[in-house]
């Protein structure tokens, strides 16, 4: 693995675990709850995170089909007709996470410095810049899930390994 990816890989591994920990023991009805007008539910944020991780894997070079095409096509929360169960979403999260980690190990420094096929609000327009933005985006939303756990009366998210 390119040494410039070590921090991204470390954060990716942490976010993989924290995503599962945020959703651990969350009842489906709690995951669907909107706690305040204008906010998103836990399930919406989780599906958004999953969709973003698939996107990250795709721009890194992994060939993956999206298991939830209705989510991938959605432009607004109202466009999602039904959400997957949390259990299924976690299974799919683990699958894409493994594929992404394997793909990152194969990227060369030259590939990482090449211009990204997508633009993000960062100065670095390379693939490395895109991956850096996407991992920060992921961390932001993991934090939202953690906060929603507490707002919904659940225990705090754990940093330790999930059960």
Q: What is the pLDDT of residues 103-150, one digit of tens each?
A: 999 999 999 999 998 999 999 999 999 999 999 999 999 999 999 999
| Class of the CATH-defined domain 3-151 | mainly alpha
Calpha distance 87→4 (Å, rounded): 34
The tokens describing 142, both together, are 């993991």
Domain spans of the chain?
Answer: 3-151
pLDDT at 1 over 90: no
* pLDDT value for 22: 96
The pTM of the full predicted model, rounded to 2 decimals, is 0.92
Residue 57: alpha-carbon gap to chain centroid = 10
pLDDT at 163 over 60: no
* pLDDT value for 152: 95
Calpha distance 95→12 (Å, rounded): 14
* pLDDT value for 162: 57
């Amino acid at each position: 693995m390119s040494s410039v990816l070590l921090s991204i890989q470390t954060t990716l591994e942490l976010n993989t675990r924290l995503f599962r920990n945020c959703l651990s023991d969350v009842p489906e009805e709690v995951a669907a709850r909107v706690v305040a007008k204008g906010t998103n539910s836990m399930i919406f944020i989780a599906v958004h995170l999953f969709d973003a991780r698939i996107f990250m894997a795709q721009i890194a070079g992994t060939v993956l089909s999206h298991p939830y095409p209705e989510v991938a096509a959605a432009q607004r929360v109202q466009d999602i007709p039904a959400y997957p169960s949390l259990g299924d979403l976690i299974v799919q999260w683990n699958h894409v996470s493994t594929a992404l980690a394997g793909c990152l190990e194969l990227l060369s420094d030259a590939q990482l410095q090449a211009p990204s096929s997508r633009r993000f609000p960062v100065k670095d327009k390379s693939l490395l810049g895109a991956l850096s933005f996407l991992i920060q985006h992921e961390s932001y939303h993991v934090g939202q899930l953690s906060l929603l756990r507490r707002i919904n009366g659940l225990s705090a998210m754990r940093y330790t390994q999930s059960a």
